[in-house]
Amino acid sequence: MKFGYARISTKRQSIDLQIRALKKENCDYIYQEEASSKEERHELEKLLSYAREGDTIVVWKLDRLARTMSELLNILTDLEKRRIMLKSITENIDPSTPEGKFFLHAAGMFAEYERNIIIERTNAGLEAARERGIQLGRRPGLTEEGKKTARLAANLYTKSDLHVKEICETLNISTSTFYIYLKHENIAKLNKLGRPRKDKSKGKRY
């Protein structure tokens, strides 16, 4: 089967352009949703869970599929292992071709670069905090220093592909403290592969 996926970030945007393009690709079913870069994408989760070997997923542009290069690489690698094809209408990318494999390799390099930059900046921020006399790590309550650590934890969680364990090791905090920090920063739990929890389908069959 051929599945389409369309996403807009706000109600002010129109999804019609994407839907028309996906219809021209003769998609059997189109998953569509409204979700910003920080929100959970229930329809994408259902699509990735439902697709099987031999199926094809079609998107208008790759940025509809992933928030970051790291996340995109993870999704593409997962689809390749499951023998699920992906087609980007605008970029004309097919991972089964030599050009598509080159794109995956280049994406991996950029993802690693992005990851290293985030870690480097975080470590620099931690070192600067220590030089100012700020003690990082687990605390009985959220003092001013704890609030700063909470902001660092939230930033790593939402803007990188680091797992929770890696973030906790970087900041020298426990998992329970990490989730206390997320709650303090009003950050909802996300799936790092961009596969959030289940919800009612908003897709349409064509």
**DSSP label of 93:** B
Q: Give Cβ neighbours of residue 74 (< 8 Å, ≥ 6 apart).
A: 161, 192, 193, 194
What's the token pair of residue 175? Answer: 């998992």
Element (H, E) at 87: strand 85-88
Tell me which of 9, 36, 37, 174 is the catalytic residue.
Answer: 9
What is d(CA 206, CA 203) in angstroms, rounded to the nearest whole number? 10
Backbone angles phi, psi at 123, to 5 degrees: -60, -40
88 is catalytic: no
Single out the residue of 56, 65, 53, 79 nearest to residue 7, CA to CA: 65
Sign of CA dihedral 14, 48, 102, 54: negative
**DSSP states of 67-80:** SSHHHHHHHHHHHH
Task: Determine contact, residues 28/204, Cβ cutoff 8 Å.
Answer: no
End-to-end CA distance of the chain: 12
Please classify residue 194 by burial: count the beta carbons closer than 10 Å to its beta carbon, then call 0-12 exposed, 13-18 middle and 19+ buried: buried
Task: List active site positions.
Answer: 9
